[in-house]
Amino acid sequence: MTDALSQIEAFFPYRFAVAAERFSRNLMDVYGKSYGLSREEWRLLFLLSQADEIASNELVQRTTLDKVQLSRAAQKLVDKGLITREISPLDRRVKVYKSTQKGRDLFQEIKPQVDARALEILGAMDETSRQSLQDGMNSLLKALNAPERLTEDPGAA
Amino acid sequence: MTDALSQIEAFFPYRFAVAAERFSRNLMDVYGKSYGLSREEWRLLFLLSQADEIASNELVQRTTLDKVQLSRAAQKLVDKGLITREISPLDRRVKVYKSTQKGRDLFQEIKPQVDARALEILGAMDETSRQSLQDGMNSLLKALNAPERLTEDPGAA
DNA sequence: TATTGTTATACTCTATAACTATA
DNA sequence: TATAGTTATAGAGTATAACAATA
């Protein structure tokens, strides 16, 4: 009567969504609860901490952030003194972002903790499964990026 | 200068989150845009369409819905005439949910379309990768459900 | 007194469109 | 006129707490 429940539990898209949400929340615990960063802020800080500078238009093209999300996440990081935002000399409509020393320091502090949390979970898997997951994921990402699948959201590599 | 971008693109948690979100959105397109169901409503309809009846407390224990989400999603499905909600004769605090014929019909109409969309994506992967993804995912779910990892959210598997 | 489901509230996210400044 | 980034607005989703009914 009741193991209709195991029916949905076996449904791949459901399992996938559940796994992704739990995994993501585990990491958000680290940079979110402890350091007050949103997922978008964390991603942006991540990017800028290892680049000299990145222009706004490039960020929009190559990340999952749209221009509104980018603008707002960047504003918060600027307010916190973690990044700077300047007008591009090449095109005065464009902004160029750089991390500050404070931003890089914070990133260096958080990143190992995020890695540790991820490894704590992935480390509970055996090596073969971990490799399978990586390979499968890479293949899935390719499939998702295949041109036919771009319902909307083009160029979001 | 700029392939800090490929740094985050290579970061497993980032790839995983991006893949999950895109995959999920693809399916939401089907039951959401075309049929006006939220993800929670869809999951609930899914469950009830293949069970005789399920009690509220069981749903909360075994799905990712908490009691508030369940109450609200169920209310919407009741309003749409897709499920019924009755007081349990065993414990008058508990509700028992059943799908209506209309609910089951709608589910039978939507489910093949969701499957088709999922297969459209997964079908672009080769068989080996698909198998790897499944195995890896199963292993990851086990790792996420391991007792040490239950930061909060116990018994939600 | 504890538990179940509902309702209320505030907060965050998302999507869209309007606006400004530059090109 | 088109593009880039910002601001405004409304809607959906989430988290928490208060509440009423039942145990």
- B15 CA to D6 C1' in angstroms comes to 29
Tokens of B55: 């009690």
What residues of B are in contact with residue A141 (Cβ under 8 Å)? Answer: 15, 18-19
In a domain, A18, yes or no: yes
Beta carbons of A125 and B139 less than 8 angstroms apart: yes
Tokens of B128: 């080996």
Supply the Cα-derived Rg of chain B in whole angstroms: 19
In a domain, B36, yes or no: yes
- A46 CA to C13 C1' in angstroms comes to 21
Q: Which nucleotides of strand D are protein-proximal, with an atom < 7 A from a CB? A: 3-8, 12-17, 21-23
Mean pLDDT, range A65-93, rounded to an integer: 97
Interface test with chain A among B22, B25, B148, B151, by most A beta carbons within 10 Å: B22
Residue A13: phi, psi to the nearest 5? -60, -35
In a domain, B19, yes or no: yes
* pLDDT one-digit tens code per residue, A4-63: 778 887 899 999 999 999 999 999 999 999 999 999 999 999 999 999 999 999 999 989
pLDDT at A148 over 60: no
What residues of A are in contact with residue B120 (Cβ under 8 Å)? Answer: 148-149
State the Cα–Cα distance between residues A151 and B87, nearest whole angstrom: 43
Domain of residue B103, CATH code? 1.10.10.10
In a domain, B2, yes or no: no
Question: Which residues make beta-bridge pairs with A99?
Answer: A83
Q: How many domains does chain B have?
A: 1
**Which one-letter DSSP state was computed for residue B149?**
G
Q: Which of B4, B54, B120 sits opposite A51 (nearest CB)?
A: B4
Please report the DSSP string for A132-145 in residue order. Answer: HHHHHHHHHHHHHH
In a domain, A79, yes or no: yes
Regarding pTM above 0.85, the answer is yes
Q: What is the pLDDT at residue A3?
A: 77
In a domain, B5, yes or no: no
In a domain, A156, yes or no: no
Beta carbons of B125 and A140 less than 8 angstroms apart: yes
Domain with B123, as residue range(s), is 11-146
